Amino acid sequence: MATLVLATRQESAAARLKDAATVAVVALLLGIPMIGLTTVDQGGALRVATRWPALAAFVAACFCGRLLLRYVIDRLRQRRRTREHADTATPNENTAANPWLNRLGWGALAFALLLPVAFSDNRYVVDTATTVLIYVMLGWGLNVVVGLAGLLDLGYVAFYAVGAYTYALLSTQFGWGFWQALPVAGGVTASFGILLGWPTLRLRGDYLAIVTLGFGEIIRIVLVNWTEMSGGPNGITSIPRPSFFGLPFKPPGDAPTFAAAFGLEFSPSHRVIFLYYLILLLALLTNLFVSRMRQLPIGRAWEAMREDEIACKAMGINARNVKLSAFAIGAMLGGFAGVFFAARQGFISPESFTFNESAIILAIVVLGGMGSQLGVVLASLVLVLLPELGRDFAEYRMLLFGAAMILIMIWKPGGILAHREPTLRYLSGSAAR
């Protein structure tokens, strides 16, 4: 096998040289009139001058650039080939639990827990981390629908919006608290999930995508136009912020506050840090919930439904219930994220729930690797931090963003973590349930 790899490498090295030489010749032919010859103004008369050194540099640059490009492409291809080979040749290694991934997951969790401590005086970092976690949660929610059940949903932001508006209305109109509103909003969004799922039961793939896209737009347009209910384009303002078990984050006053109760000096960053831990908790609960679902028959049925619907029905699985449950649970998780979003912002308007958001959440799931929980975290980091880091590049920001997405898809077509853990393993030789 080693000789085989060596042989292909040598062969491709020669091929690469030849390929680069071809490019250099083309560059030379094009370069002679474009670079090699130029006109100069000499005492009012136009004369042709030559720039051979510049042409030589140009051809050399083309040659080297092409060589490098081929080399990189070949290396990537070769790595993929060896990986595929390893996939079929040593299946056990491929399917064994990957301790490295596990460690990465625990490391990420430890980092997430310690982040506000390390950056307690840097509000911007904690705020951005909170945004990342919102997207992580949305990604995990959509992962149920798209990654596990294989139902392409382009209107996921609708559930995010329904959750946010449900909390906003319950709290501003009826004075409900965050924890009271959370389960109710979850129930409401789950019903919206079923509402979307019911008429689309027979649809799959692109057709389903179109309907979900429409659903997302309908929700947004209703929010814009139903002014009495949603405040229209002005949105809903002064949504109560969550309190710490009834203790508000306020400067000291008549009522007991969080800072006073704990004998701390009041600081606006208390709330920021509290919100961060709140979304971390919600996200972790989401993760536990989804991981647990995957090991239950219903979660396995989602995945089997993604693989082959007819075969599933032939196993006696009620396709309708399985799909509706995926829609409902995915929607519910998106709704929870929406409730948090409304509570954090204190202000919501339909502008926060455009198709762009749906696309980013879907991109997180796809880039992360369909169905991979840790992949969603990595993809959220990339997709939220990249535009943040790119602020210096101003108008090139979105270009950078797009280029990064394309590069990831070329580098890892199955997503950052395409690996899938089996949900059942043998225990010491015998099968365990």
Partner 1 sequence: MMLQLSGVHAHYGPIHALRGVDIDVQVGEVVTLIGANGAGKSTLMMTLFGQPRASSGRVVFNGEDITALATHAIARRGISLVPEGRRIFPRMSVLENLQMGAVLGEPANFAIDLKRMHALFPILEERGLQRAGTLSGGEQQMLAIARALMSRPQLLLLDEPSLGLAPLYIKKIFQIIRELNRDHGMTILLVEQNAHHALRVAHRGYVLQHGRIILAGGGRELLANPEVRAAYLEGGHAATAA
Which is nearer to partner 1, 53 or 316 (by Cβ)? Answer: 316
Which is nearer to partner 1, 66 or 294 (by Cβ)? Answer: 294
Shortest reach from residue 94's CB to partner 1, in Å: 8
User: Does residue 317 touch partner 1 according to CB under 8 A?
Assistant: yes
Residue among 51, 123, 313, 397 that touches partner 1 (CB under 8 A): 313
Which is nearer to partner 1, 84 or 351 (by Cβ)? Answer: 84
Residue among 114, 311, 403, 410 that touches partner 1 (CB under 8 A): 311
Q: Which stretch binds partner 1 (CB under 8 A): 87-95, 193-201, 269-277, 383-391?
A: 87-95
User: Does residue 261 touch partner 1 according to CB under 8 A?
Assistant: no
Dist. CA 164–CA 170, nearest whole Å: 10
Tokens of 285: 């609960």
User: Does residue 1 touch partner 1 according to CB under 8 A?
Assistant: no
User: Does residue 152 touch partner 1 according to CB under 8 A?
Assistant: no
Could you tell me the maximum CA-CA distance found in the chain, to the nearest angstrom?
94
User: Does residue 304 touch partner 1 according to CB under 8 A?
Assistant: yes
Site for partner 1 in 4-43 (CB under 8 A): none
> Residues 341, 330: contact at Cβ < 8 Å?
no
Helix (H/G/I), strand (E/B), else coil: 430: strand
User: Does residue 427 touch partner 1 according to CB under 8 A?
Assistant: no
Phi, psi of 40 (to 5 degrees): -125, 150
Dist. CA 275–CA 281, nearest whole Å: 10
Which is nearer to partner 1, 57 or 311 (by Cβ)? Answer: 311
User: Does residue 303 touch partner 1 according to CB under 8 A?
Assistant: yes
User: Does residue 300 touch partner 1 according to CB under 8 A?
Assistant: yes
Partner residues linked to 46 by β-bridges: 41
Shortest reach from residue 414's CB to partner 1, in Å: 10
Phi, psi of 45 (to 5 degrees): -100, 145
Q: Which stretch binds partner 1 (CB under 8 A): 6-14, 64-72, 217-225, 301-309?
A: 301-309
Among 146, 174, 188, 157, CA closest to 341? 157
Residue among 3, 39, 88, 428 that touches partner 1 (CB under 8 A): 88
Q: How many residues bind partner 1 (CB under 8 A)?
A: 34
Spell out the SS3 assignment of 358-394: HHHHHHHHHHHCCCCHHHHHHHHHHHHHHHHHHHHHH
Site for partner 1 in 386-405 (CB under 8 A): none
User: Does residue 426 touch partner 1 according to CB under 8 A?
Assistant: yes
Which is nearer to partner 1, 39 or 88 (by Cβ)? Answer: 88
For residue 390, which amino acid is it?
G
First to last CA, the chain: 39
Which is nearer to partner 1, 100 or 426 (by Cβ)? Answer: 426
Which is nearer to partner 1, 240 or 299 (by Cβ)? Answer: 299
Among 11, 20, 16, CA closest to 71? 16
Residue among 29, 34, 114, 307 that touches partner 1 (CB under 8 A): 307
Q: Which stretch binds partner 1 (CB under 8 A): 86-94, 127-135, 358-366, 383-391?
A: 86-94
Dist. CA 188–CA 331, nearest whole Å: 9
Residue among 1, 310, 394, 427 that touches partner 1 (CB under 8 A): 310
Q: What share of the chain is helix, strand, coil (3-state, %, to 5)?
A: 75, 5, 20
Spell out the residues 6+ positions from residue 43 whose beta carbon is closer than 8 angstroms to its own. none
| Contact pattern for partner 1 over residues 95 through 134, marking x by CB under 8 A | xx--------------------------------------
Residue among 35, 301, 337, 382 that touches partner 1 (CB under 8 A): 301
Spell out the residues 6+ positions from residue 153 whose beta carbon is closer than 8 angstroms to its own. 142, 145, 146, 208, 209, 212, 330, 358, 362
Dist. CA 382–CA 278, nearest whole Å: 22
What is the DSSP code (8-state) at residue 208? H
Give CA separation, 277 vs 31, 116, 288, in Å: 60, 9, 16
Shortest reach from residue 5's CB to partner 1, in Å: 22
For residue 284, which amino acid is it?
L
User: Does residue 151 touch partner 1 according to CB under 8 A?
Assistant: no
> Residues 145, 156: contact at Cβ < 8 Å?
yes
Shortest reach from residue 375's CB to partner 1, in Å: 15
Binding site for partner 1 (CB under 8 A): 87-88, 91-92, 94-96, 297, 300-301, 303-304, 306-308, 310-319, 420, 422-426, 430-431, 433
